Amino acid sequence: MTVIAVTGHRDLAEATVPLVRGALRELLAAHPAEELTGLSCLAEGADALFAEAVLAHGGRLVAVLPSPAYRAERVGPGYAPAFDRLCASAAEILVLPHATADDRAFTAANDLLLARAGLLVAVWDGHPGNGPGGTAHAVAAARTTGLPVTVLWPPTATRTGHP
């Protein structure tokens, strides 16, 4: 069984989305669908693209939600239908017991992803993060524990609001 977790940016530029989709599709193609489990917090952006790629590949999706309040507090109305579809398609949904979807909840969700994964895929531009619970923090934590990390950041990829 291959268990791959994802971390990544939420604010991918529109032109970056197909680049990341292609890179994820290529990465997952190396793993037999019947042996693949993908772990994702289903955040908009990289997490959702990974979840979609796992499902399209025929793998098993496990959603890790940082809090019971995650959808209400963090999922915008434009993304809610896709979020709901991904939740409905997940083989399993793990909901952490945090009252709110805050930095502590995100850090705990990342810790759970890293504890269960054999590989972390990071859709990451390599820049330092804004604190705990984000992409840079998850990559650093994975590297500290010795969990293999594959960074996917296509050469022309950009983020909205970032160069």
Q: Which pLDDT score, from 0 to 100, does residue 160 have? A: 94
What is the percent of the chain with per-residue pLDDT over 70, rounded to a whole number? Answer: 99
Domains observed in the chain: 2-151 (3.40.50.450)
pLDDT(132) > 90: no
Beta bridge partners of 144: none
For range 104-129, the mean pLDDT: 96
**pTM score, whole prediction:** 0.96
Based on DSSP, count helices (H) and strands (E) in the chain, helices before strands: 6, 6
Residue with tokens 């619970």: 133
CA max distance for the chain: 39
Angstrom CA distances, 5 to 71, 73, 115, stand at: 20, 23, 10
